[in-house]
Amino acid sequence: MLNSKQTCFQNNRFNKSRILVAVSIMILLALFFISLCIGKYRLLFGDILKILNHTQENLMAVNVFYTLRLPRSIMAVLAGFGLSMAGSVYQTIFKNPLASPDIIGVTSGANVGAALCIVLISGNMFIVSLGAFLGGIIAITFVIGLVKLSGTNNIQTYVLSGIVISALSNGIIMTIKYFSDPENELGAIEFWTMGSLGSITATKLIMILPFLLIGVVGILLMRWDINLLSLSDDEGKALGISVERSRFLVLLFSTLVVASIVSVTGLISFVALIPPHIARTLLQKNNFTTILFSGILGAILMTFSDCLARSLLPSELPISIITSFIGAPYLAFLVCKKNLV
């Protein structure tokens, strides 16, 4: 039994988690405002206030703000939130601290979709986005089909099917690259896999918003089932949930989130993997609060990385370069601490 000192400490931890969430939201807001200012076309804080008050006379500034800067900053927050939230959900239901949307082939499917569109149709960003979205959805459909076909609906089958689909996708991507025009198309494919928020516009944001919302709301509704899916299948069933159906729905919703994001941003490394770890380490628990907190931390990481991506060099950097250089050292740190869970 614990003594009263320890109990007191436990209660403090409960309050600590509220403070952590509040502080992280404030950091996110601050970063969001900074990201509204940074870019090739510099906007000062005063300019933004004027734009919001409708007193800005410089039409160029107004245009940049509404059609590019604001949608991009919002997208950075949404993408970070969505990817990390989905990552946290994947890590919970796969009971694996290294699980991410790659594990069941969503991202590799999106990659195939994008590459196919670039080579066969055109490099038009709308078409590529649509292709990537469909690619991700088709990949998860194949994974679920394979799980059904195998007749063994457990978590290992999902992982194995994901590996199959990823391997197949890789094969297809290599074939596409081999036959693509090295002058333009190959570059476009490679660039897509490095991710960027550079091409986000208000139209694109509005285009993916419904899918993203359906996914996020779905995850919100399934919050209790996600908790129970972190147990073994037998335990979940004995506690009265229909494990197979719940897992299917949760995977579907989180895939919707991931596919709608990567369809417009391209692949973004580590954002789905690292923030859930930090969230669990800080809160020392894993429930729906942790999943939401992962989302907030992901939004911070993404907004911060995007600020660096647009300001480090005269020309813009792909965002995965930044997230990889932040994510890999953190992962190394986890390995040394042997604190992978």
What residues make contact with other proteins under the rule CB under 8 A? 1-2, 4, 6-7, 10-11, 13-14, 92, 95, 97, 221-224, 227-228, 230-232, 234-235, 237-243, 280, 283-288, 341
CB of 225 to other proteins, least distance (A): 9
Rounded least distance, CB 66 to other proteins, Å:
36
DSSP state of 66: I
Instruction: Give 206's contacts (C-beta < 8 A, 6+ positions apart).
Output: none
Tokens of 47: 């300019």
Nearer to other proteins by Cβ, of 10 and 203: the residue is 10
**CB 152 to other proteins: min, Å:** 12
Q: CB–CB of 181/220 below 8 Å?
A: no
Minimum CB separation of residue 293 from other proteins in Å reads 13
Rounded distance, CA 56 to CA 120, Å? Answer: 44
Residue among 227 and 311 whose Cβ is closer to other proteins: 227
Hunting for tokens 């003594």 — which residue is that? 3
Between residues 174 and 340, which has the closer beta carbon with respect to other proteins? Answer: 340
190 or 235: CB nearest other proteins:
235
As measured in angstroms, the least distance from the Cβ of 237 to other proteins is 5
Question: How far apart are CB 122 and other proteins at their closest, in Å?
Answer: 42
Nearer to other proteins, 129 or 290 (CB): 290
DSSP letters, 1-37, are ---HHHHHHHHHHHHHHHHHHHHHHHHHHHHHHHHHH
Tell me how many degrees the CA angle 199-127-166 measures, rounded to the nearest 5. Answer: 95
In a 3-state reduction of DSSP, which class is residue 53? coil
Q: With respect to other proteins, which residue has the nearer C-beta, 36 or 103?
A: 103
User: For the chain, give me the number of helices (H) and strands (E)?
Assistant: 15, 0
How far from 277 is each of 51, 175, 184, 303, 334, CA to CA, in Å? Answer: 39, 36, 38, 18, 9
